[in-house]
Amino acid sequence: MEMSNDFDRLLFFEHARRTAEATYAKNPLDADNLTRWGGVLLELSQFQNGDESKKMIQDAIDRLEEALVVNPRKHDALWCLGNAYTSSAFLIPDLDEARGDFNKATQYFEQAYELEPQNELYKKSLEVAAKAPQLHVEIHKHGLGQQGMAPGPPPSSSTKQQQQQQSTKKSKGSELKYDIFGWIILAVGIVTWLGFAKSNVPPPPPR
């Protein structure tokens, strides 16, 4: 199933969240449902800003940790936690502080991969996690920190060259950002959707 646009994705994951909440009310020890719920909250956090996004990511972490209390070897919950901590780290401006979450993410990806070494998704996540601190620097350097740079204008002879270098750096940063954020959103979205599809398979249409 291909999500046609962001609005369709938002509607789908909002519905999925309500479904997960209803299932949790009936059975709070359903590790599969808790994992799906965490994945849904992580997806929905991409539609929020600032504190709301942080709160939703933390809610996702809480649900996923609940799933691991029920089943400590639940590899998909470990993998989703890795993605949650990766997303959380990008919302922390200071890289040294963010490294704590990046390190947790790597540990969870490693645990998931150890439990399912044939899973290419988990292997790819480990590779992507290694690039995350570099992307963090690019985002906060070119995105959030740029306005406060350079108190005076550069010499006119070097302006064009600096602009070109800046443009190249931005391009590389954008590619890396898509590589990681695009990967997180796509991968978690697919896994979450498949999880709900398996748990609530609609009857096949009549032939």
* pLDDT digit string, tens, across residues 95-116: 999 999 999 999 999 999 999 9
- DSSP 3-state of 206: coil
Map tokens 């998931």 to a residue: 112
Q: Output the pLDDT for position 168.
A: 45
What are phi and psi for residue 36, nearest 5 degrees?
A: -60, -40
Q: Taking 70 as the threshold, does the pLDDT of residue 21 lie above it?
A: yes
Q: How far apart are CA 180 and CA 134, in angstroms?
A: 11
Tokens of 102: 């990046």
Give the residue from 49, 45, 47 showing the smallest Cα distance to 61: 45
pTM: 0.71
Confidence of residue 205 (pLDDT cuts 50, 70, 90): very low
Given a contact cutoff of 8 angstroms between Cβ atoms, the answer to whether 57 and 88 are in contact is yes
pLDDT at 155: 32
| Average pLDDT of the segment spanning 163-188 | 49
Among the listed ranges 17-26, 73-82, 187-196, which one has the minimum average pLDDT value? 187-196
State the average pLDDT over residues 22-37: 96
Residue 126 has pLDDT above 70, yes or no: yes
More confident residue, 68 or 142: 68
* CA distances for 151 relative to 90, 131, 146, 147, angstroms: 27, 31, 11, 10
What pLDDT digit, counting tens, does each position of 135-170 carry? 888 777 766 433 322 223 333 333 334 444 444 444
CB 58 within 8 A of CB 105: no
